[in-house]
């Protein structure tokens, strides 16, 4: 018999009030006369609207809006309007309340923000991604009111903190979305603390093993780390106190996500990462002395510890585009360990942790113009609404996470651009028309091509010609979303003009063949040639891709176009995709790999080479059946984030022993007989066949790649353990792709 859960409603009521009071305490810094009443009104409406709803964890739903409002007030530092909207952010989507009700009770501004936070309802064609459309809607409101995104980030942060009660596939989808878009957004808005927490929590659910392992390592190393930090700061503290400076010094470990990234990209083990933590010196000094005092502290630190000149980062003279200001130096500390030291003021620290919400507090510092500048750029990307939402998102993401460089115009005006920007990006950054007419540039007075990659400090003069027009291959020369979208728009416009000519040619041909030139017949013809739209049909006719003489095989029967081979059938891609999703999911909602799956055409994806034992999912493609990906595959985050409806949970059965190809990367010191020892272990290993082995030796070190056939992850892990014991071998890592 199922156990009945008894809910103590009285205790819940008390808890709700306790959380509400906690929210009011968090608001006390920004609260003004009359604000308390507004917050109470929003709380009462939300409480009533959600009264019969519960979260997956079984808690009353109202806990969620209160928590989101609390994050907005306490961790982002937003004011009353945002707290009101956070309390009401789910009511329009989940209850009978409408935007008009909000407008009447609170005002136009609040209604607009809540509209931006409400997901799009309605049916989309299966080829597009509802998720991408929702992101786009949210970003459209960003250009009107940045608070939409800030509240959305608070909402996402609370969902991530409470993700434990969700099913595994939901956890994967939400965590992937978070890493794909929300963490980069928090970064771009300068919300450092929230960005780090979102990344860590995202990793916790997408790669739990890596997350737990690093967390464990950090825990074990904590006492030693604390000892080292206090030893490091003793001499600095003394001098700073002597000079009468007000300061705080904190040592904080790097985020688990950034450590994991380092392990992946640099191919090193946890033990070999030097900068596991950073020491932050925060000084309390008036705005006019900030720069001089930060350099004074730098001078004191480097009197004791030798700096690494190429690791000095000065974001005080030129702040990052997200408003981040700080001085970073890497110095050689005690025990021969490199340590990153971050020097900043109280104001800079608050801006770094709370991002743009803190900018309103320091309005006179002149930095908020960078936010306006960034939002202006987003507005421009959003100017082309006909663009597919997925394409738009990819372009938008390009500019979210990029590190920046700065370049100068001939008159000395500074332009901040993402790293790897080209001369053509620079031209589009100045003005669309200059970009479209650009034929080259002079960088530091030397002639360079459009695709030339700029470096920080370059001075760029753009050369134009009235005869120049954007070309298709320009898309490969640019990295900024602005340039990409402007080039696409120009190419679309060009294509549209050509298509107009094709339309006239087709109309003449239809008249000649006595076929009605109507929408239905045009679409049927496009369908026959397997083209996505009538515009594509007109374009291909105009450029001679489809010759008009081929149309003599078409005629008209009962007002409809037919081909001499019979009537034209509509392509049913969408239908078949829907059918595939339902069939693949089956009753158990789980695809089992390794059984007799004749009814499914499934492939193991080459981008991540899954083998039995890996945590995997199935992704339903339109043309290639089901593809199996590892959950930590480089492409997984984008697929799970944007096409969750096409994802099928998958697990391996224990099939008869089938062999799967897996790759290993081995590095070490080149010793005599090393390759021989490695191959001996592999060939002695039961049921392992080696497909290929290649080694590169370079001045006493070696890099090797070994491809082997194994049965599952346990099999592979065992083999890797044995290879690590070989004399001279430093690392053995699994390769993602082939």
490 neighbors 470 (Cβ within 8 angstroms): yes
Tokens of 104: 């009447």
What are phi and psi for residue 414, nearest 5 degrees? -90, 140
First to last CA, the chain: 52
Q: CA 614 to CA 128: how far, in whole Å?
A: 29
Q: Annotated catalytic, 94?
A: yes
Tokens (6 digits) for 515 = 């076929």
| Contact indicator for 255, 215 with CB cutoff of 8 Å | no
Token reading at 367: 């930095």
Active site residue 93: yes
Rounded to the nearest 10 degrees, the angle between the axes of helix 481-513 and helix 534-542 is: 80
Mark 472-500 as b/e (b = at least 16 C-beta within 10 Å). Answer: eebeebbbbbbbbbbbbbbbeeebeebbe
Quote the CA–CA distance of 144 and 137 in Å, as a whole number: 12
Q: Are 426 and 433 in contact (CB under 8 A)?
A: no
Which residue in the list 44, 48, 93, 373 is annotated as catalytic? 93
Q: What angle do CA 113, 119, 120 make, to 5 degrees?
A: 115
**Alpha-helical runs (H) found in 445-590:** 481-513, 519-528, 534-542, 573-585
Total residue count of the chain as it appears in this document:
738
> How many alpha carbons fall within 13 Å on the CB side of residue 431?
7
C-alpha span between 519 and 532 (Å, rounded): 14
How far apart, in whole angstroms, are the C-alpha atoms of residue 188 and residue 183?
Answer: 9
Place of tokens 């250009």: 143
DSSP string, 128-188: S-HHHHHHHHHHHHHTT-THHHHHHHHHHHHHHHTGGGS-HHHHHHHHHHIIIIIHHHHHH
H/E stretch holding 680: helix 674-684
Active-site residue identified among 94, 222, 303, 473: 94
Q: How far is CA 25 from CA 28, 36, 74, 358, 361, in A?
A: 5, 11, 9, 18, 19
- Catalytic positions are 93-94
């Amino acid at each position: 018999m199922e156990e009945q859960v008894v809910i103590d409603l009285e205790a819940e009521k008390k808890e709700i009030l306790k959380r509400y009071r906690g929210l009011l305490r968090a608001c006390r810094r920004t609260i003004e006369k009359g604000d308390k009443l507004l917050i109470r009104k929003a709380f009462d409406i939300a409480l009533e609207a959600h009264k019969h709803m519960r979260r997956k964890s079984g808690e009353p739903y109202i806990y969620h809006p209160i928590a989101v409002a609390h994050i907005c007030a306490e961790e982002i530092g937003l004011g009353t309007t945002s707290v009101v909207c956070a309390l009401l952010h789910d009511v329009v989507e989940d209850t009978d309340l409408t935007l008009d009700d909000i407008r009447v009770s609170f005002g136009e501004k609040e209604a607009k923000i809540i509209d931006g936070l409400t997901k799009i309802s309605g049916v989309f064609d299966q080829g597009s991604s509802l998720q991408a459309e929702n992101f786009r809607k949210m970003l459209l409101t960003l250009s009107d009111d940045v608070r939409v995104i800030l509240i959305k980030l608070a909402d996402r942060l609370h969902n991530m903190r409470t993700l434990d009660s969700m099913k595994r596939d939901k956890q994967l989808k939400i965590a992937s979305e978070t890493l794909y878009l929300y963490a980069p957004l928090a970064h771009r808005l300068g919300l450092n603390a929230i960005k780090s927490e979102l990344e860590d929590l995202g990793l916790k659910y997408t790669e739990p093993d890596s997350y737990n392992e690093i967390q464990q390592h950090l825990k074990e190393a904590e006492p030693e780390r604390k000892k080292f930090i206090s030893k490091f700061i003793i001499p600095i503290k003394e001098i700073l106190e002597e000079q009468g400076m007000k300061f705080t010094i904190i040592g904080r470990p790097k985020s688990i996500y950034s450590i994991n990234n380092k392990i992946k990209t640099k191919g090193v083990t946890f033990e070999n990462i030097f900068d596991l933590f950073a020491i932050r010196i925060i000084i309390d000094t008036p705005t006019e002395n900030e720069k001089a005092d930060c350099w004074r502290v730098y001078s004191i630190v480097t009197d004791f510890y030798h700096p690494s000149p190429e690791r000095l980062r000065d974001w005080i003279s030129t702040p990052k585009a997200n408003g981040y200001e700080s001085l970073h130096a890497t110095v050689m500390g005690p025990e021969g360990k490199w340590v990153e030291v971050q020097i900043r003021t109280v104001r800079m620290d608050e801006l770094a942790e709370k991002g743009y919400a803190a900018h309103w507090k320091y309005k006179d510092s002149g930095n908020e113009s960078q936010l306006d500048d960034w939002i202006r750029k987003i507005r421009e990307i959003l100017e082309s609404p006909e663009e597919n939402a997925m394409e738009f998102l990819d372009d938008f993401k390009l500019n979210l996470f990029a590190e920046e460089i700065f370049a100068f115009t001939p008159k000395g005006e500074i332009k901040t651009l993402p790293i790897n920007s080209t001369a053509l990006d620079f031209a589009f950054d100045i003005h669309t028309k200059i970009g479209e007419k650009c034929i080259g540039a002079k960088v530091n007075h030397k002639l360079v091509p459009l695709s030339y990659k700029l470096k920080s400090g370059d001075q760029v003069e753009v050369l134009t010609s009235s005869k120049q027009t954007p070309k298709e291959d320009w898309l490969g020369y640019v990295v900024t979303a602005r340039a990409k979208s402007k080039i696409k728009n120009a190419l679309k416009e060009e294509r549209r003009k050509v298509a107009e000519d094709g339309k006239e040619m087709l109309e003449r041909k239809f008249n000649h063949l006595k076929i009605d030139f109507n929408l239905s017949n045009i679409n049927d013809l496009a369908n026959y040639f397997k083209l996505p739209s009538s515009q594509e049909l007109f374009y291909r006719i105009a450029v001679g891709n489809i010759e008009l003489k081929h149309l003599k095989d078409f005629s008209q029967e009962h007002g409809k176009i037919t081909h001499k081979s019979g009537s034209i059938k509509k392509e049913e891609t969408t239908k078949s995709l829907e059918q595939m999703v339902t069939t693949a999911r089956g009753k158990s909602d789980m695809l089992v790999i390794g059984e007799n799956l004749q009814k499914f055409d499934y492939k193991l994806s080459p981008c991540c080479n899954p083998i039995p034992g890996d945590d995997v999912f199935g992704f339903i493609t339109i043309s290639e059946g089901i593809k199996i990906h590892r959950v930590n595959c480089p492409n997984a985050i984008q697929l799970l984030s944007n096409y969750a409806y096409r994802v099928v949970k998958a697990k391996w059965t224990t099939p008869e022993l089938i062999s799967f190809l897996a790759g290993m990367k081995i590095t070490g010191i080149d010793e005599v007989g090393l390759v021989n020892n490695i191959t001996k272990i592999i060939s002695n290993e039961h049921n392992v066949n080696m497909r290929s082995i290649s080694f590169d030796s370079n001045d006493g070190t070696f890099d090797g790649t070994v491809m082997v056939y194994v049965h599952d992850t346990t099999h592979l892990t065992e083999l890797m353990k044995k290879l690590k014991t070989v004399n001279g071998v430093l690392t053995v890592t699994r390769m993602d792709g082939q």
